[in-house]
A = this chain, B = another copy of it.
Amino acid sequence: VSRGVAGAAPERSRLEPGIARLKEALPPRSWLDEPAAMEPYVVDWRGLYRGRSPLVLRPDTVEQVSAALAICNEHRIAVVPQGGNTGLTGGSVPAGDGAAVVLSLDRLDRIRALDAAGFTITVDAGCILAEIQSAADATDRFFPLSLGAEGSCRIGGNLSTNAGGIQVLRYGMARDLTLGLEVVLPDGRVLEGLSGLRKDNTGYDLKQLFIGAEGTLGVITGATLKLFPKPMDRVTAFYAVASPAAALALFGELRERTADGLIAFELLHRPILDLVFRNIPRTGDPLERPYEWYVLFEAAGPPIAQGLASGIEAATEAWMEAGLVLDGTVAATEAQRLAFWRIRESVADAQKVEGIGIRHDVSVPVNAVPEFLARALPAATAAFEGLRPIAFGHAGDGNIHFNLLQPPGMSDAVFLEATPRLNRLVHDIVASLGGSISAEHGIGRLRRTELPAYKSEAAMALMHSLKATLDPNGIMNPGVLL
């Protein structure tokens, strides 16, 4: 199943002079042009988007990035910036026409500085997320961005897509973790901004333009990021709740009574648990009998005080009396804690076993989560015989992953043909609740044609103006986002 744009054959003659200059300007270790070597760079990790490219650039200095972009800009050669190539929307692979070079940041991967006293780290854009986490950990600090792909995704990609993940509730998105950026503009100029300042009100906050821009305005080459104290006195619990509305009430109680020490608050629907227990070894129900809705939450308290866990346990009695919580268990050991999280983290793999999923990464205002589920679950079931809607996600952020699982026995082709209709069904409910059709995955190639239907004309026009201002020749990641 390839959604790669087929496109026309590249005008090789048009590209050749620029490609030749790129090969001259960069040392041979900084580019690839053999098809076999380029393969991992032209297809996304799920194999859904396959493109073509005449050249993959792998600069290992900011100066090389700058030189490469200046040449591409002069020769009007399109550039696809790429981090770990782990995105879910096809934004990091070239189109099928072979007219764009890939600019991989995978060799620009040094940790430049770590300031434990000032709670900051400065890194190259190609640093793997897990390596940043480890470097922080080694100095008794904590970098909270955490997501499934953390062992292979790279921070430049995380920033370009404004990645979210499990701990957004307490620590924010990638944007919120960024103090400074170094960016190479499409014409090769370098915008230096790695100050690491907590406060700087000297004009427009330029870094904000590039965060979440999916590589369409320039290339992020470095970042200064916030670090935090390590969460300690951590409490992890797996509760059955009466309903999504009860989950929302519990969310408010927990935020209040932990003084906003709530780090994660994940909502899980029973069919997901069954899917996981069926397909993923070493998983099992933490509770004795089944319920319809669950939350998995984690809170951290000040190690200087005492008793967060016992406080939560005591409060839980009141929540059970009030009918919010039906049953539950608090992890007594680290192994138990990891077992709870294994359930949540296995959802993607468990789905894959049972067929194609048409994914929706949507958000609504937090208090509209119950209404979204009350409308979207029956609508999806009614729309399609045998369709299995899978709802889970970061309820504390209003972010629901709403995936529609292939009916057993239905062919891939028939199911995929229904994609536009099912997208529209889900996204129209989202829009009617004031929500977003992409909470954390971005637009990429996947949602590009849907975007104008859900954004205002004024917003679309302003985005196009900004694109034209920063990238007047339109070389940056064409076909993605805008």
Q: Which residues of A contact B (CB under 8 A)?
A: 115-120, 140, 161-162, 164, 168, 172-173, 175-176, 185, 189-193, 195-206, 208-209, 211-213, 217, 228-233, 248-249, 252, 255-261, 299-308, 311-312, 315, 363-368, 394, 397-399, 434-443, 447, 451, 454-456, 458-459, 462-463, 465-466, 468-470, 481-482
What are 8 inter-chain pairs, A to B, with CB distance below 8 A? Answer: A162-B205, A198-B398, A198-B399, A199-B397, A232-B259, A305-B307, A305-B308, A469-B469
Interchain CB contact (< 8 A) of A197 among B217, B312, B365: B365
- Cα of A397 to Cα of B201 in the assembled complex, Å: 13
Is there contact, CB below 8 Å, between B436 and A201? yes
Is there contact, CB below 8 Å, between A205 and B195? no
Is there contact, CB below 8 Å, between B367 and A115? yes
**Contact A198 to B397, CB < 8 A, known contacts A204-B212, A303-B257, A469-B466:** yes
Interchain CB contact (< 8 A) of A434 among B196, B217, B260, B394: B196
Is there contact, CB below 8 Å, between A466 and B198? no
Residue numbers in B under 8 Å from A228 (CB-CB): 255, 260
8 more A-B residue pairs beyond the given contacts A261-B302, A304-B315, with a C-beta to C-beta distance below 8 A: A119-B252, A120-B365, A197-B439, A199-B436, A205-B212, A209-B209, A257-B303, A465-B469
Q: Chain B's nearest CB lies how many Å from the CB of A374?
A: 16
Is there contact, CB below 8 Å, between A203 and B482? yes
Is there contact, CB below 8 Å, between A440 and B302? no
- Cα of A161 to Cα of B205 in the assembled complex, Å: 11
Residue numbers in B under 8 Å from A365 (CB-CB): 115, 118, 120, 195-197
**Closest residue on chain B to residue A198 by CB atoms:** B397
Is there contact, CB below 8 Å, between A306 and B305? yes
Residue numbers in B under 8 Å from A363 (CB-CB): 197-200
Interchain CB contact (< 8 A) of A202 among B199, B209, B260, B451: B451
- Cα of A233 to Cα of B201 in the assembled complex, Å: 33
- Cα of A481 to Cα of B203 in the assembled complex, Å: 7
Q: Classify the secondary structure of A's interface with B.
A: loop
Is there contact, CB below 8 Å, between A311 and B306? yes
Interchain CB contact (< 8 A) of A304 among B308, B366, B466: B308
- Cα of A399 to Cα of B206 in the assembled complex, Å: 20
Residue numbers in B under 8 Å from A260 (CB-CB): 228-229
**Contact A201 to B302, CB < 8 A, known contacts A115-B365, A256-B230, A463-B206:** no
Interchain CB contact (< 8 A) of A458 among B191, B233, B249, B258: B191
Residue numbers in B under 8 Å from A469 (CB-CB): 465-466, 468-469
- Cα of A208 to Cα of B463 in the assembled complex, Å: 13
Is there contact, CB below 8 Å, between A436 and B259? no
Q: Chain B's nearest CB lies how many Å from the CB of A120?
A: 7
Interchain CB contact (< 8 A) of A459 among B193, B217, B466: B193
Residue numbers in B under 8 Å from A470 (CB-CB): 462, 465
Interchain CB contact (< 8 A) of A201 among B161, B189, B199, B261: B161
> Which of A189, A311, A366, A455 has the largest number of chain B CB atoms within 10 A?
A366
- Cα of A67 to Cα of B322 in the assembled complex, Å: 52
